[in-house]
Structure 1
């Protein structure tokens, strides 16, 4: 089975953790412990988030005032290399010696007229107090929005249109490689009026980008690994319950307004889009339960083969 797994940011850096190399490596080791059994049984493509990492690079760049700050598309590319290397290192240590792994810098086309450029929503970097956020906003012209009881920088998050490296990804899979690609939602690019490809200041949502990738490479299953066991309705209330299986149309009709715009909603939307486009399954659940998700016995599964919405006991 061909499986695409998008790793949530918690797989690389947990909320509130210091953004150190040691913390990221420890989290990636844990993630690779969970991914190794899937890779042993299936063709595997891994996507990942990069919000904390690209935010850290932006802060580092802003601190060095001798040169202008590097644009976000370049920082996206840098994080793809760094995170891909660490996943290759740790997952390779858990696989047979002759199983190849490859990290592919992946460019994804966006529309420069996307409304997202007028309304930044994608959180990057660490959280700040209101006072610190106000100071940074004044100094650097950054945009901040609430993240719980703190503030976090947000940048444009345009919708992905096209994955450029599909042929290379398919070839690597045909050679038996585990492929790490579309990291951080891919490197955002667009065609200008002269049809020249250019980078653009943005960070694409990794769940939507990985879902588009999964569709285009004919994945049998698309999984989004997060820090929740499933997608829930009634979250934080006495009526809270996990969704076990759902038809994408019914799920969005009945429960769309219950999913948080900055966290679970993009995952549910990406799952529904993949399910509608392919007739195959998409899953949402925890990294710890990834083997159950892949086997169809855990997490939330979304597919046009299901009727209505079923809840987990």
Structure 2
């Protein structure tokens, strides 16, 4: 399952330790429900708000201590949020149930994403403040979802997680595994076989698709703020779609039904996973996550292989 960093620091919150721990407790309850239902669970969490806050702290203390690169901040946020989630899960399921794994994702240094930063991190700013920060710090600031301006950083596609064998071992031992937190620390490999950090923030849904595909997972759950995916959103024809065969999901994406700044990355990640594994992707809210795992429930949106499509979906397609 993949949950956003915004689920740990809500839009109207400052991101204090107490707020993050309270939000993590709610998330842990949903994860525990999956465990009780018999699922083996791997959790990928985002880190956009948290890593952005760390970056601001680094810049603010530049006269006192040397600032650390973005890939190091990704590692810091993995440790921070992993610790909070492990404690929250263990409180419910018992000590030693959950393990947070500092994870590294290989990316292509020639990925076009490095020339066009699109991943928002950190808090929202007004236009004037954003312009001042862009000038003072050299950051690329862009309006995000009509809520203000945020810093934009590169978000390359992940190719492989270095710790995949460790995830498999922990799952076999019955652990709840937190992996690829914040999308994983972006790394590339040089001609000598040395792995070096890359300044980027990998999209957590893309990282989840990469990891879930490698694990041959039965199902990938992308947790979002709505119960199901909508098409024709913002029009009188707006409607929820509860099942999308792979071809229909690709068609909707190509038609622009899912903008890059909202549902687009989730649909792309869903398509990647279903194509690679033959499994099912479910997109739904945290509150209805367990219910949505039942394909007969008509809760959430199920993206499925073509051969798995129902008669209802065939009529829609």
TM-score by length of 1: 0.94
- Separation of aligned partners in 2, 1:103 and 1:215: 20
Residue 116 (structure 1) aligns with: 113
Contact kept? 1:72, 1:201, Cα under 8 Å: yes
Please show how residues 4-83 of structure 1 align to structure 2 within 5 Å: 5-40=1-36, 41-66=38-63, 67-83=65-81
Contact kept? 1:155, 1:202, Cα under 8 Å: yes
Residues 1:160 and 1:24: Cα distance change in structure 2 (over 3 Å): same
Residue segments in structure 2 that go unaligned for 5+ positions in a row: none
- Separation of aligned partners in 2, 1:108 and 1:179: 16
Greater Cα offset, 297-306 or 109-118? 297-306
SS of residue matched to 1:295: coil
| 1:295 to partner: Cα distance | 2.4
| 1:311 to partner: Cα distance | 10
Greater Cα offset, 229-238 or 204-213? 229-238
Contact kept? 1:99, 1:176, Cα under 8 Å: no
Residues 1:150 and 1:139: Cα distance change in structure 2 (over 3 Å): same
| 1:195 to partner: Cα distance | 2.8
- Separation of aligned partners in 2, 1:35 and 1:176: 14
Residue segments in structure 1 that go unaligned for 5+ positions in a row: none
Task: Note the alpha carbon deviations across 1:159-190, whole angstroms, 9 max, x for none.
Answer: 00111101100000111111001000000000
- Separation of aligned partners in 1, 2:230 and 2:314: 11
SS of residue matched to 2:92: coil
- Separation of aligned partners in 1, 2:314 and 2:28: 31
Residues 1:135 and 1:278: Cα distance change in structure 2 (over 3 Å): same
TM-score by length of 2: 0.93
- Separation of aligned partners in 1, 2:111 and 2:150: 22
- Separation of aligned partners in 2, 1:99 and 1:124: 32
Report the count of equivalent residues: 307
